[in-house]
Structure 1
Amino acid sequence: MSIKKRLQTFFSKEYAGINVLTILALFFLLSYIIFSILFTINSATDVRTFPANGTFQLYNPLQRLDAGQSVGHDFPFFHGIGVPWLHFPLFKLLGGNLFAAEFAKFAVSITLFFVSSFIFFWAYFRDKRKTIIATALFTTLALYFIPLITPGNSLLGLRSTLPILVAAALVWNTSRSVTILSRRISYTDIAAIILLAIAFLCGTEQGLAALVAFVVTKGIMLIKQKKKVSGILLHLGYIIGAVVALILLLTTLLTAGHPIDALRYALIDIPSDQGWYFGSPPNLFFEWERLAPAIFHRKLIALYVFLALIAAGLVWAHRIKKLPTHIAYAFFFMLAYGVITFTVSALGYFSPNSHLLPLYRMSGLILTALAVQLIFSGYIKRVLHNLSRNKGVVAFIARHISRFTVGLLAGFLIVQTNIYIVSSSEFWIKDILVKASQAPAKDDYFVLNKKWKKRVDEFQPYISKGATVWSTYTSVYDSYLSDTLNPSQGGEDYIIHALGEKRRQSYVSDFIKSNSDYAITMRPLFFSYEEWLMSTTWDFYDHLLTHYDIVAKNDSHFLWKLKDKATISNITYPTVTAQRDGKSFKLPANTSDKARLYEIHIRYQASAINPLLNKIPRYLVNLNNASAMELPVSVPSYSHEATFPVTIRGGEQNVTITTEVGGVLPGSFTIEELTYKEVPITENNMQLPLDNLLKKKRNTWRQT
């Protein structure tokens, strides 16, 4: 075909709209990809990550992999053992330092977003132009409503990617099958089984939610096919068994032959602490009084609009018989997965804005697919053609609405393209490229931003190379200043990753035995979770406060130095049993002008209305009239003793302790005995428990 004829076909009435949109969509995607590359390089050469979570929760495991350690055995990874392995090749290729970790973090998440979106739309349309247009439109939707393109603090975008590929397999729905162990199994089921197993490894809770959603979807499909109950159960059993077997195989490979440790951490240790630990103040937990404000929160309006439009689109597609059964099941799986993810997550800590993001993502994919299908469907063209034969306003609208819609989308894509062209031009491209070319061979300090460099500079005079450092949140202080990994035997680089009673006790024991030269903790002034950590891991902080001295501080951290044995206080205060006063226990009055720190020990009974539901309520110890304390103390139902600190400022004479049961289920929480004793710490170290008082604005956790 000649160029002239190709151009005539390209701009013909039948193809002009879709062809123009395809070109504009490609330009938008190209502009955003260029922006993403520059943004990734800029982020990796000017690291400004949050001290907790963020880059370091990925960088630390990558360093351990690089040192030959085994994920899941030598060290845990909270979000799934496959995540560090996904980033490791690029991390290793780019020098194995902080620059490499930050670059890999952004590059992998952004790439997986585009790849998974493109695959889903290709499976849906089997048409290049519609796939490109849909991918571009969904990307713009995600930029404004679904912040899952970039990794964020917890790599949620990456962790919710594999369920999209499961949905793509359902949408593709090949009729081909193969015989395995005398049983016919479709290629669709084989693909889903493989993807579900990988989903578990790359995001434990996301993978489990996807597996449940897939089993429910498959069960409904088999029921609709009028299969026998025994046949349905057998089929679902095969699927679950295959997924479990593949998870075990892949876990064995990724952990170098130690699958049990990794699976125990993912399926026992983390769930055991999901409620009382992560789902306690300062995090919010689900209570009935939070339901209405959460449902009507302004940030959820977009989700409701998505779901309403999806419902309308499904009704339209069903009425014109343009919704194949396998597509309907795929959509059901996607929405079920999103709902299950939110429901299960909400039983831990309650954060609808983040927990609903997978449902947002699935809804956005469905909505985009239906919208593009509607715009370019032959049915719509026929309806508009018939209406255009009439007279009046209806005919006028029918004749021009297609052009108007295409023009509107074209204008939108042009505006978005311009935004990212302008945004890309704002980078100092030459400077960041030069710095990026040097970064793989440089130390971590080279790529830190000014704030982080200032933090490191303030601690550097105290820490010599090779000094042992124990950080509750291992970061660049460790990798750059001491060039060591956290000394914990369990490989926990974050104190919050020492989950489960046994692992937490081992973490504290390792810290005490290590006699690390230095310790680094977060400041309560900067990090609202520090008080929570003191309550949940008091034995660690008790040893820290009595065997270390604060020698430096910056805006975010305290630096502690191990005391000489001769300077460790040998003062021992007596243990006193507090007297019950009705429903409360009263602590001693502080008539001095200086704050005092007390260690509180309680024996208690905590349970729900049914023992199987014990983990759902929150069992809270309220610290009343203690102005240095912002949070109640949460205790687990599986234990019957707890120890935590209370700071009583000078002049405070009516500090009491009461109990409360929170959550969606009723429960019982009774303190049987409460004892207290004063902790002998220096006035210098009292900076830690009193740091809360330096906050300009102090809100209680219920008001946040």
Structure 2
Amino acid sequence: MSSEGAPSSRRTSLAARARRAGVPFRGPIVETGRWTRRIVFVAFVAAVAFLGVQAVTSVFQALDHATRFSGYALDGAFQLYNPLRRLADGQLPGRDFPFFHGVGMPWIHYPLYVVFGQNIFASEMSRWLLSPVMFAISGGVFLRALLGTWTRAVIGLAVMTAMSNTVPQLNLVDPGNSMIGIRSMTVLFIAAAMLWPVRRQRFAFGFLQANTPLLIAYALLGVSLALGSEQGVAAIGAFLLVRFFQNVRRLRWGWRPFAQSAVDALAAVSSVLVVLTILTGGSALSALRYALVDIPADQGWVFGSIPNVAPTADALVWDLIGGPVLDLRAMVPGFLLTGLVAVVLVVIARRMRAIPPVAVPVVIMLFLAGLATLAALLGYISLMTQLAPFGRLATAVAVGAGTAIVITAMARTEAAIRSGRRFAPALVARPVAAAAIIVAGVFFVATSVAARTPVLQEIPKREVIAAAMQGPTQDDYEVAGPGFRGAMDAILSRIPPGADIWATYSSLFNSQRDVFVPAPGGEDYIIHALGAERREAYENAFDSVKPEAVITTNPNYTIYEEWLWGRYPQFYATLFQDYTLTVETGSHLLWLRNEVPAPRDAPTVQADVQGDGTFSLPGNNTDRVQYYELTVQYVASGGDLPIVNRLPRFYLDVSGSGLALSGEILPPDETSWSITVPVLPGSAGVSVSPYIGGVARFASLDVTGAEYRQLDVAPENDRLMLLNYCSWNRTNDLCTG
């Protein structure tokens, strides 16, 4: 009896070791079967080939963007390059300068930045290489933890990549405008840690867990916040919520699950503080305040107002359905449909026992983390980007569950056929379901190939390789494309050597001169001066530093130039009065400081405010623009309901002026605010009236007073007002001459 049982025992031991080691074609999903293994092997080879082509495409994309640099002058490339320059200068994020998307983002790119030469070429190479690499690693690790072997993970990763890089407008493999791919990746590592088998359970006091995967998950919570503030908070909240219910299920109702959950929360807080302390040189609390207080406080009125979309029911429905009518091809409906499909596939996979039971709470955690980022809706509506993390996580879940279903169905069908089992509905349903999922996967891969092949074909490969060989040793002017070179020639030639350059969006002008914006908080972008204290310090510093040169954006290049005027009014009032517009390029404007500051002795005039808050400013019968600094006293209230009271937007409609936006924003937490109102020649008068946008059911806005004074502005600066006004009103008589 013992001799007969020995081979069976040996096979069981080998199978167990194979499962632990992740040997291809073995494990909890795939039963033995010759044809199943052959099909999986063919799929694996095809996946490797597909991913190889994608990798080659990503490398050439990086080379193409890094050489002949012609990137967008705002956000995008410079959102990373400026912090990398500061890191190389010995500065630290969170201590010496803020980073809008998490203090760990510059650090994770910094090694490649150093390797490639510490210039714009190096920054772009690191940005365009790291995003696809981390997409592959995070997706691969998660799928390996879910599916049991690297072979299955590679197959799933190929489909996941195909589903994520087909649409150019929101490619989660490439970095995009705000590197959303890297910012949303850490939660997949946390999910992998939760899925990883616990080989040795350890307990403190008999019930507090202390196993290796859990400790790794704790550490990753801090990393998640460092690599993406919103995504990190969402991941931590989702993890702790799911852990609480896991603790209740394991320990039953009582004080013990609450004790374990308290330990989980303490571990999360400790992880965040340790990680941020290391990355910021001891300034963790400062970094947390910026990420969790300053940014959210200004999210609504700064970013969630005209010309951006404030949260309303109509705007939300429009984004949800993809336009005026339902369009399943649109990004947001596609994300939601992917989530629905993922849920269905997880249910099927669990009924087939193709994925382990622990996958269910992990999937719930991923979905909660993806949806929690919708808290940004309190500020503004842009579901295509706000739901992108959910779309990525739902894609990973759908692909993982789908891969498990297909391989398991094939293996069990083959086993049934080989055993000579009689016909049963399941024998037909399994291969049909597997075939449907395979067709979907092949469709996505084919669509991705069709979309990405032209990208690779259009890149002049020999040219970019030759340019890349020189890139690490070149300065930014040599790396720049014709557009940036022309702008640098026009602007830098007018700025004296050694002069301070204050740019509202720091770019190649500052890097070529090897200077930083001398803002006290280290803000390279004016929009990063968020929170009342930081904004006031930024504006006061500009007034006291008195830089020789200021570079702003051309209103014809971006609709957000005037948008800045109402959010940083003191900065722009000083700019208009004490500087002269000297150079105009397609993307930027250069202002040089006047030798003598403009007088501030114009009398202040009280406006006649009517009962409904309306009032007027004088017209303009001269032949040039007249400028008024308008100061409004008001009381704005969003109501008594927390959260809901942050949804209204408070505006001034300034009709008959040279302003182009349909409303000038008033901060809800202030009681007095100033804006510069240009009045164009021929204006019969300016009418100002308050109104409320967004969700305004419980909101009120009372204008209690208004005053204005005329500003002394150089005639050359009138050009800016015409550029701004005509960018929106091209058919006006002033703009057609």
- TM-score, normalised via structure 2 length: 0.87
Cα deviation, residue 409, structure 1: 5.4
Paired with 2:69 and 2:33, the residues of 1 have a C-alpha distance of: 47
Determine helix, strand or coil for the equivalent of 1:376.
helix
Partner of 1:606: 636
CA shift digits 1:116-161 (9 cap, x unpaired):
0110110011122211110001000001255211111111111111
CA shift digits 1:532-570 (9 cap, x unpaired):
2111111111111111101111011110011112xx433
Q: Residues 233 and 693 from structure 1, CA distance in 2 versus in 1: closer, same or farther, beyond 3 angstroms?
A: same
Q: Residues 488 and 696 from structure 1, CA distance in 2 versus in 1: closer, same or farther, beyond 3 angstroms?
A: closer
Partner of 1:597: 627
Say what the alpha-carbon RMSD is for the aligned residues: 3.0
Partner of 2:216: 191
1:104 aligns with 2:126: yes
Partner of 1:58: 80
| Gapped regions of structure 2 (runs ≥ 5) | 1-23, 25-31, 732-737
Partner of 1:702: none
Paired with 1:669 and 1:415, the residues of 2 have a C-alpha distance of: 51
Q: Is the 8 A contact 1:545 1:681 kept in 2?
A: yes
CA shift digits 1:147-202 (9 cap, x unpaired):
21111111111111101111111222425344568843233321211111100011
Cα deviation, residue 392, structure 1: 14
1:15 aligns with 2:37: yes
Determine helix, strand or coil for the equivalent of 1:363.
helix
Partner of 2:162: 140
Determine helix, strand or coil for the equivalent of 2:70.
coil
Cα deviation, residue 621, structure 1: 2.1
Partner of 1:131: 153
Matches within 5 A, 1:441-460: 441-460=473-492
Determine helix, strand or coil for the equivalent of 1:325.
coil
1:582 to 611, 635, 643: 611
One-letter identity of the residue aligned with 1:244: V
Partner of 2:392: 361
Cα deviation, residue 399, structure 1: 7.9
CA shift digits 1:328-353 (9 cap, x unpaired):
001001111111112x1111121011
Q: Residues 578 and 413 from structure 1, CA distance in 2 versus in 1: closer, same or farther, beyond 3 angstroms?
A: closer
Deviates more, 1:445-454 or 1:653-662: 653-662
1:149 to 154, 173, 182: 173
Determine helix, strand or coil for the equivalent of 1:684.
helix
1:641 aligns with 2:665: no
Partner of 2:702: 670
Deviates more, 1:552-561 or 1:370-379: 370-379
One-letter identity of the residue aligned with 1:685: N
Determine helix, strand or coil for the equivalent of 2:621.
coil
Paired with 1:414 and 1:20, the residues of 2 have a C-alpha distance of: 16
Q: Is the 8 A contact 1:385 1:398 kept in 2?
A: no
Q: Residues 322 and 677 from structure 1, CA distance in 2 versus in 1: closer, same or farther, beyond 3 angstroms?
A: same
Q: Is the 8 A contact 2:33 2:414 kept in 1?
A: no
Q: Is the 8 A contact 2:162 2:447 kept in 1?
A: no
Q: Residues 330 and 604 from structure 1, CA distance in 2 versus in 1: closer, same or farther, beyond 3 angstroms?
A: same
Paired with 1:162 and 1:686, the residues of 2 have a C-alpha distance of: 49
Kindly tell me the number of residue pairs found equivalent between the two proteins. 687
Deviates more, 1:252-261 or 1:349-358: 252-261
Q: Residues 400 and 517 from structure 1, CA distance in 2 versus in 1: closer, same or farther, beyond 3 angstroms?
A: closer
Partner of 1:74: 96
| Gapped regions of structure 1 (runs ≥ 5) | 1-5, 700-704
2:511 to 479, 483, 487: 479
- TM-score, normalised via structure 1 length: 0.91
1:292 aligns with 2:307: no
Matches within 5 A, 1:182-221: 183-221=208-246
Matches within 5 A, 1:151-170: 151-170=175-194
Q: Residues 115 and 412 from structure 1, CA distance in 2 versus in 1: closer, same or farther, beyond 3 angstroms?
A: same
Percent of aligned pairs with the same amino acid: 27
Q: Residues 668 and 443 from structure 1, CA distance in 2 versus in 1: closer, same or farther, beyond 3 angstroms?
A: same
1:560 to 591, 609, 619: 591
1:85 aligns with 2:107: yes
One-letter identity of the residue aligned with 2:144: W
Q: Residues 324 and 683 from structure 1, CA distance in 2 versus in 1: closer, same or farther, beyond 3 angstroms?
A: same
Q: Is the 8 A contact 1:629 1:646 kept in 2?
A: no
Q: Residues 657 and 144 from structure 1, CA distance in 2 versus in 1: closer, same or farther, beyond 3 angstroms?
A: same
2:370 to 322, 338, 359: 338
Determine helix, strand or coil for the equivalent of 2:580.
strand
Matches within 5 A, 1:501-512: 501-512=532-543
Determine helix, strand or coil for the equivalent of 2:700.
strand
Q: Residues 311 and 266 from structure 1, CA distance in 2 versus in 1: closer, same or farther, beyond 3 angstroms?
A: closer
Matches within 5 A, 1:309-388: 309-342=341-374, 344-378=375-409, 381-382=412-413
Determine helix, strand or coil for the equivalent of 2:660.
coil
One-letter identity of the residue aligned with 1:315: V
Paired with 1:532 and 1:415, the residues of 2 have a C-alpha distance of: 39
CA shift digits 1:7-49 (9 cap, x unpaired):
xxx9953322111111111001111101111111111112222
Partner of 1:259: 284
1:122 to 133, 136, 144: 144
Partner of 1:690: 722
Partner of 2:16: none
